[in-house]
Amino acid sequence: MQKIALVTGSSNGIGLETALALAREGYHTYASMRDTKKAAELLNSAKKEGLELSIIQLDVDREESVKSAISQIMSEKQRIDILVNNAGYGIFGCLEDLTLDEMRQQFETNFFAIARLIQTVSPIMRKQQSGTIVNISSVAGRIGFPGTPAYISSKFALEGLSECLRYELSPFGINVIIIEPGVIKTNFFNAMRMPGSQKPDSPYKEITNKVIGGIKMMAEMGTPPKEVADVIIKAIKEKNPLPRYPVGNDAIMFLEAKKMKTDIEFENYLKKELF
């Protein structure tokens, strides 16, 4: 029986590499994206390697789009073995420079959309008595810093949800895995939104610009997205996958430091390292 995988946000970066990696492992992979006109790069790579892969339209923010994509997969293949919740974006700006609507939009895509996908797919996996849900969090889901609190809070929320789901879903044979990449070289930083509300005279301009500059510099030397895909494949193959898989030397270094230090020691360390 062929296994079926669904990846969200496959037009670029981590989603694109993960869709290819799953197809290479023999999964019939539904590479979903909100704008299927962006599928050319993925389809070219799949064709070159002779991989079995379907493009499917899915805007994770829209309930109708989620329902329609899942029912198409179920009518074609009758099962879903792997769900990779990858689609996401970031907003720069300190809290006072953000509107609550901008915060809500950030949570809509990075958090509520994932809850919606899991609510739609977990009944299918429960019936199968098997399945794996992979949530793409971030090192920013474990470590807070200034300049991007909307994004960081949405990833902290995703970490909390994922921890709860490991208990709720394991009795039904469903694994939940959190992936925590550090800085990965993708389109993510170009796609990051600057809030419309950010004023030129913002008292947070200096710290926000420092963070933006620092992150963009780190992104130049970021880990290739294929390394994230490789870790996802390794994790889903494990019989008892761990709760969390960090990816990239930066993620490993910061998460190890957080583990070894008290909260206040870690805060001082991060101030010295990053700002």
Ligand X SMILES: NC(=O)c1ccc[n+]([C@@H]2O[C@H](COP(=O)([O-])OP(=O)(O)OC[C@H]3O[C@@H](n4cnc5c(N)ncnc54)[C@H](OP(=O)(O)O)[C@@H]3O)[C@@H](O)[C@H]2O)c1
Q: Which residues are catalytic?
A: 151
Of residues 34 and 166, the one with the C-beta less far from ligand X: 34
Of residues 35 and 201, the one with the C-beta less far from ligand X: 35
Contact 103, 26 (CB under 8 A): no
How many Å apart are CA 198 and CA 97, to the nearest integer?
5
Output phi, psi for 131, to 5 deg: 155, 160
Shortest approach of ligand X to residue 227 CB, angstroms? Answer: 11
Sites of contact with ligand X (CB under 6 A): 8-9, 11-15, 33-35, 38, 59-61, 86-89, 109, 136, 138, 181, 183-184, 186-188, 191, 222, 225
Shortest approach of ligand X to residue 228 CB, angstroms? Answer: 7
Q: Which residues pair with 246 in a beta bridge?
A: 180
Shortest approach of ligand X to residue 24 CB, angstroms? Answer: 18
Enumerate helices (H) and strands (E) in the chain, giving the number of each.
11, 7
Shortest approach of ligand X to residue 203 CB, angstroms? Answer: 27
Of residues 127 and 217, the one with the C-beta less far from ligand X: 217
Of residues 90 and 131, the one with the C-beta less far from ligand X: 90
Beta-carbon count within 10 A of 230 CB: 15
Contact 247, 212 (CB under 8 A): no
